[in-house]
Amino acid sequence: MSKKMVILLICTFLLISIFFSAGTIFINIGTGGTAGTYYPLGGAIAEILNSKISGINATAVSTGGSVANINMLKENSIQIGFIQNDVAYYAYNGVEFFANSKYTEMKALCSLYPETVQIITLKNKNIKTLYDLKGKRVAVGAAGSGVEVNARQILTAVGLTYKDISVQYLSFAEAANGLRDGTCDVAFLTAGLPTAAVRDIASQKEVFVIPIPAKIADSLISKYPFYIKTAIPKDTYPSMTEDVSSLAVLAMLVARADMTDDLAYSIVKAIFENLERLQVAHQMGKFIKKENALFGISIPMHPGADKYFKGK
């Protein structure tokens, strides 16, 4: 084959590729770490969109989670993101760690499933209530994380500040290691149930889940409406003997505000007509239901998604 013919074929191929890709909509879905819940569910959603919506090329992207996803939406490096409703609320209203970086160019597509606040200690520590945390070594989550804000709000509700405890800024895995090796007394985490980090230590040590009493929960909900009351079932972790009252936030699917109404409508329609794929991807998929899709939404809904759920 002559050199001219090769060049001609390459040019033809490039022109065809450009022609066909011109009508393709590329969507990056910001998830979380590959060992978490967001990533497998995001991968399943990408598969659904690719198979059910013509002209879509969707990809699940591993990220640092809710806060990172908001920043990536802002940069347009992702077009959809998994975001806790409390973190979305902070960003949209310019409070907490978004006090200097308010971001309102995002809209909710739907609510997904609850992420439960878990306050974990070991039974041999004899720490039974939130008030017992005074003077203890407490892991409050990574600095600047949603977990850390949850911890601070709950401590404040019982009259404690960081001055009353020995604060440790640790990830879930680091906190579990701290409980195991005795360098940490209590760990806060906010995640779907059961959480792997807790399940891991519960297989080796007797854990105790500290309850959030109804009165404290009510006071927090009145101030922070994104919280909901929940209970951690007694069969969640070994050594639990009864359900434990707690609070939860909700994982949401959020899109950039400039997403077209038609595309947002098509995305939520495809997801909620193929929920069985999400149930296979992760056990938290069983909580994703159309009847719960508007529950706990903390920022304005995308008009296209709203149209789908209201059956317009």
Predicted confidence band of residue 81 (pLDDT cuts 50, 70, 90): very high
The domain boundary, picked from 231, 249, 267, lies at 249
| Same domain (yes/no): 257, 286 | yes
The domain boundary, picked from 202, 233, 249, lies at 249
Least confident range from 61-65, 122-126, 142-146, 240-244: namely 142-146
Eight-class DSSP state of 36: S
In this prediction, residue 25 carries a pLDDT of 95
235 in a domain, yes or no?
Answer: yes
4 in a domain, yes or no?
Answer: no
Q: Indicate whether 22 pLDDT > 60.
A: no
The domain boundary, picked from 207, 223, 249, lies at 249
Q: Indicate whether 312 pLDDT > 90.
A: no
| Sole residue written with tokens 């509700």 | 157
| Same domain (yes/no): 129, 222 | yes
Q: Indicate whether 283 pLDDT > 90.
A: no
Write down how long the chain is: 312
Domain that holds residue 284: 25-113+251-309
| Same domain (yes/no): 202, 82 | no
Least confident range from 92-101, 125-134, 192-201: namely 192-201
Question: Do 139 and 165 contact (CB within 8 A), yes or no?
Answer: no
- CA separation, residue 137 to residues 165, 216, 277, 298 (Å): 6, 22, 42, 32
| Same domain (yes/no): 277, 194 | no
d(CA 4, CA 27): 37
Tens of pLDDT along 164-182?
999 999 988 899 999 999 9
Question: Do 91 and 77 contact (CB within 8 A), yes or no?
Answer: no
11 in a domain, yes or no?
Answer: no
Q: What is the total count of domains within the chain?
A: 2
37 in a domain, yes or no?
Answer: yes
Q: pTM of this prediction? A: 0.81
Predicted confidence band of residue 20 (pLDDT cuts 50, 70, 90): very low
13 in a domain, yes or no?
Answer: no
